[in-house]
Amino acid sequence: MNQDDQKTGAFEYLTTRKDELVGWARKFSIFPYPFVTACCAMEFMSVSSTIYDTDRFGAALPRFSPRQSDLLMVVGTITHKQAPILKKVYEQMCEPKWVMAFGVCATSGGFYQNYAALQGIDKIIPVDVYIPGCPPRPESVIDGIMQLQDRIAGSKHPIINETF
């Protein structure tokens, strides 16, 4: 990077385009980690498989290791007893990482309000996209994935910096 480029704004132009490039690459290669605890799993299977096929969005290759995954899909009720496990899984994921609350139980506790159920996973980990429904329709899940894709495409990707 020489001085002249910085004067003309070429660097800003370049990094903007690079952000777009990396965002484009990332949004079509979301490897989900399915943290599946309850009945929403059935809907998760449905949305992953042939008819709805999340592979069209690059989000159908489940990685059963948090270290290899980008998207933590929390599918189902989280209990207080399970919360430490979810937190640990989240902490083990490498950046960049996103979290999806799949269904009302993960979003807000749903119809459970008792000694056992956590009232929404956002009490313990940050959530990027919430999908309502009990269980959500596959269309809602796909909509959630697409919203997440938009968000990834439109955000800064800090691997692009002045040294690159």
CB atoms within 10 A of CB 145: 25
Which one of 24-32, 61-69, 118-126, 147-155 is the stretch in contact with other proteins (CB under 8 A)? Answer: 118-126
3-state secondary structure 73-137: EEECCCECCCHHHHHHHHHHCCCCCEEEEECHHHHHCCCCCCCCECCCHHHCCCCCEEECCCCCC
Contact pick of 122, 143, 147, 151 for other proteins (by CB under 8 A) = 122
Q: What angle do CA 28, 96, 85 make, to 5 degrees?
A: 110
User: 18: burial class by Cβ within 10 Å (0-12, 13-18, 19+)?
Assistant: middle
Contact pick of 87, 143, 147, 151 for other proteins (by CB under 8 A) = 87
Which one of 23-31, 45-53, 63-71, 76-84 is the stretch in contact with other proteins (CB under 8 A)? Answer: 76-84
Least distance to other proteins, CB of residue 79, Å: 9
Contact pick of 14, 39, 41, 124 for other proteins (by CB under 8 A) = 124
Which one of 6-14, 21-29, 56-64, 111-119 is the stretch in contact with other proteins (CB under 8 A)? Answer: 111-119
Chain residues in the site for other proteins (CB under 8 A): 80-81, 83-84, 87, 113-116, 118-119, 122-126
